[in-house]
Structure 1
Amino acid sequence: MADGVSVLFYNAMVAHADPSLDKAELMAFGGLDPDTDYPPDFIVPYTTYFALLEKIAEAEKPEIRFYLRTCANFCCDHFGAVGLAWRAAPTLRKSFLRMDRHVREYNSAATFRVEEHDDGYYWVHERFSPQRTGMYLSCEGTMATYLTLAREAAGPHVQPLRLQFRHSQIASDKPLREYFGCDVVFDADYDAMVFSYDQIDAPNLKGDESMWSFFTDHLDQKMGAAGDAPLDLRVVDEVSKLLSEGPPTMEVVAANLGMGARTLQRRLSEMDTSFQSLVDQARKNVAMKFLKVPNYSLNDVAFMTGFSEQSAFSRAFKRWAGQTPGAYRAGL
C-alpha cells in the first residue's frame, strides 16, 4: 500500500465535518476536485490526511466528534473480504485472530497485535510517527472503527473495559467515553482496547465457522508470504525462532532477512523502534506462550527465551508483565 489512505476515508471525514466548514473547500484543501468520482484505490498522502483531521478538529473543539460520526457509519461490507471474515467469525476472539495480518490490506503504517492479560483481552495498536494531532486523531478513529465492527459482529452491547492511548489528551474526552462506554486513559504505554474474556468468547450474531475459514484462507493466500509483513514483525518472528540458542545478534537477524545490519538498524530507527526492543518483545511473546503450557518448568521457559539463568528471566519478565513468571502462570 502507498504511504497514505484511500480517498474513501478522506471523503468520509469531509462528509461528517462540522456544518460550519465548506465541504468543497475541504476537498480542495487535499488537492481533490469535489466533482470528481475518485476510485477507491486513489491514495491521499498521510500528511494531507492528518492536516485535514487537524483542520476539522479545530472547528469542533473542545468536543471533537466528527471522526467518531465517521467511524459509526462504517460497516463490515466497506472492508471487502477482511470485513466479511470479521463478521463471519464465530466469536470476537476469532474476529481478531489473524486480523493483525489481514488489516494491512487497509493500514500498512501501523502494527496490531493481541495480548492476553489477567485483566482482559488487549487489542493493541502501535504507530509512533509522525508525532502530530492528526495522527493521534487517526489512532483514536482506528480504535473506534474496530469497536463499530465488533458491535456489528457481536451486537450493540459490546463495550470495552478500558480504552488507552500513548498520546496525551487532545481535547475533552467526553465524546470518546460516550462512544466507547468506558474510561479513557492517556499517556499509556501503548494504544489498546481491553475487553473482558466473556465478551471475546461469546458467540457472534452471524458467526459461521466454515465461512470464516473460507475468507481467512482467501486472505492468507492474497497477502502472500510472511515477507509482506512490516519489518518490525518480521524481526520479532525471526528472533523468536532463534532464542533457544541465546539472543541472536543484529547481524544474524539482518542476514536472515536479506539485508545488512546497518540497513536493518536504519530502517528500524525510521519506524521509531530498535533491535533490542524487538528482542525484548520476542522474548516476552515466547515466554507468555510457553508459560501457558504446564509441562514446561520455569527453567525450561527461561532457556527457550534465551536466558541462561532463571533469576535473570524472572527479573526480565517482571519488567515486561509487572509480575513474576510464577504469578503469571498461577493466574492463568
Structure 2
Amino acid sequence: MGYVTSLFARKMAAAAGQAVDAPALLTSVGIDPEGAWDPKHMIPAATYYDMLERIAAQTDVTDLPIHVGASMRCDEYGALGLAWKAALTLQGSFSRVERYARLWTSVVEYELRPDPRGTLFILHRDGARRLGLRLSNEATLASGVSLARQVCAEPFAPLEVQIRHPAPKTASIHEDWFGCPVRFGADLDALLLSDTALARPNILGDEGISRYLVSQLDVELSQVGDRSLVEQARGAIAQALSEGVPKMSDIARGLGLSARSFHRRLSEHGVSFQAITEDTRRELAKGLLRDNRHSLAEIAFLTGFSEQSSFTRAFKRWVGQTPASYRRARAAQ
C-alpha cells in the first residue's frame, strides 16, 4: 500500500472551491480539516485518488491540477522545501527532489535523465492510469514548475511538458500556465528542462545553509521507514474500523509483517499498536463529528464501536465531552 503527503489532498480540496464540501472530503480520507498542515502526515494513495475522483464527479477538474501546482510553496515542504531554496542552482534543487522524495511519498520516484535537448525530470508512478492518478501526476509536474519559479532569478518555463495520459477537452489552460508545449499521450510523465535554466544560480542559494539542510534530510531519510510504518498503520486501522477494532496481527499481515516484527518496530519508534489504534479512533471520531451528515450511531459504527453508548463513554474519556456536546460546541464556533 503506497502513501502520499496529506498536503496535496488539502490543496486539492481547497482548490475545488465551493463545488465540494472540503471539510467532509478531508474527513473522509482521515484528515482533520482544522488540524495543522503537516506534510509528514501521510494518507493511502488509493484513498487520495478516490477523493480526486469524487471531486471530478462534482465539478470540472480540467484546470484543478494546474491551480494546485501553482499554489504550492517551498516552505510547505518543511526541510525539503528549504533545501530546494538553498540549493545553489536549479539543477541542485531538482536533484534534492530526486534523492529525498521518499520524505513525502512512497508511490513516486523521480529521475533526472540527460536528453539531447536538455534534461528530463521524470515522474515515475506505478499503477492503473485511473483518473485520480492522472490528476495527481499533472499536479505534481505543475508543482515542480511552481517551485522552480519561486527560486529562479529569471522567468522560468520548461522546454516541454510530457504527460502519458490522453489530453482533456482542451490543453490551452495547461500550455498557458506552463508557458511551453504540453504533449499528452507521451511515453513519460516529465518536464524537459534546458541546461541553461538548470545552471542558473538560485536567488536564495547558500552553500553553508544548503549543506546543513542536506545533512538534516539525510537523517530524516534514514528514519522514513519507521515513520512511514506508523502512518501506514494509522491508515490501515482507519480503513478497518467499520468492521470493528482490528487485531494487530491482521494489520501487520496487511503491511507485509509478522505480528512480532510489527510490534518490535512500533516499540522502536516509541509507540504501541493499542496507542495508535486509540489515537486513530479519537481523531477519526472528532473529524466525523464536524460533519453533520453523520449521525452519532453512524460515527460509533465507523470508529469501531458496536453500541453508541460505548462510543459515548470512550469519547468522553478522550476529550472530556460527550459526542453530542462536542458537536454542538464545534457548530457554535
Give the TM bin, normalised by the shorter chain. Answer: 0.5 to 0.7
Give the number of the structure with larger relative contact order, counting CA–CA contacts within 8 Å between residues 6 or more apart: 2
Indicate which of 161, 172, 175 corresponds to 2:173. 175
Q: Deviations over 1:48-89 (max 9, x none)?
A: 21122123234443x622232222222111111111111011
Could you tell me which runs of 5 or more consecutive residues in structure 1 were left unpaired when the two chains were aligned: 229-332
Pairing 1:7–2:6 present: yes
Q: Residues 147 and 35 from structure 1, CA distance in 2 versus in 1: closer, same or farther, beyond 3 angstroms?
A: closer
Q: How far is 1:40 from its partner?
A: 5.1
TM-score (norm. length: structure 2): 0.61
Q: How far is 1:105 from its partner?
A: 0.3
Q: Residues 28 and 87 from structure 1, CA distance in 2 versus in 1: closer, same or farther, beyond 3 angstroms?
A: closer
Q: Deviations over 1:211-238 (max 9, x none)?
A: 212212322243239x99xxxxxxxxxx
Q: For 1:122-137, what aligned pairs fall within 5 Å after superposition?
A: 122-137=120-135
Q: Which residue of 2 aligns with 1:47?
A: 46
Letter in 1 for 2:74: C
Q: Residues 50 and 186 from structure 1, CA distance in 2 versus in 1: closer, same or farther, beyond 3 angstroms?
A: same
Q: How far is 1:26 from its partner?
A: 2.6
Q: Which residue of 1 aligns with 2:62?
A: 64
Q: Which residue of 2 aligns with 1:21?
A: 20
CA distance in 1, matches of 2:219, 2:129: 34
CA distance in 2, matches of 1:204, 1:95: 9
Q: Which residue of 1 aligns with 2:192?
A: 194
Root-mean-square deviation over aligned CA pairs: 2.7
Q: Which residue of 2 aligns with 1:157?
A: 155
Q: How far is 1:36 from its partner?
A: 5.9
CA distance in 2, matches of 1:99, 1:42: 18
Q: Residues 122 and 36 from structure 1, CA distance in 2 versus in 1: closer, same or farther, beyond 3 angstroms?
A: closer
CA distance in 2, matches of 1:34, 1:87: 28
CA distance in 1, matches of 2:124, 2:13: 25
Q: How far is 1:117 from its partner?
A: 1.7
Could you tell me which runs of 5 or more consecutive residues in structure 2 were left unpaired when the two chains were aligned: 227-333
CA distance in 1, matches of 2:218, 2:38: 25
Q: Comparing 213-222 with 198-207, which one deviates more in the overlay?
A: 213-222
Q: Which residue of 1 aligns with 2:82?
A: 84
Q: How far is 1:3 from its partner?
A: 2.6
TM-score (norm. length: structure 1): 0.61
Q: Deviations over 1:171-193 (max 9, x none)?
A: 42222112211111122221110
SS of 2:107's partner is coil
CA distance in 2, matches of 1:20, 1:82: 32
Q: Residues 39 and 214 from structure 1, CA distance in 2 versus in 1: closer, same or farther, beyond 3 angstroms?
A: closer
Q: Which residue of 1 aligns with 2:29?
A: 30
Letter in 1 for 2:105: N
Q: Residues 118 and 20 from structure 1, CA distance in 2 versus in 1: closer, same or farther, beyond 3 angstroms?
A: same
SS of 1:134's partner is helix
Letter in 1 for 2:207: E
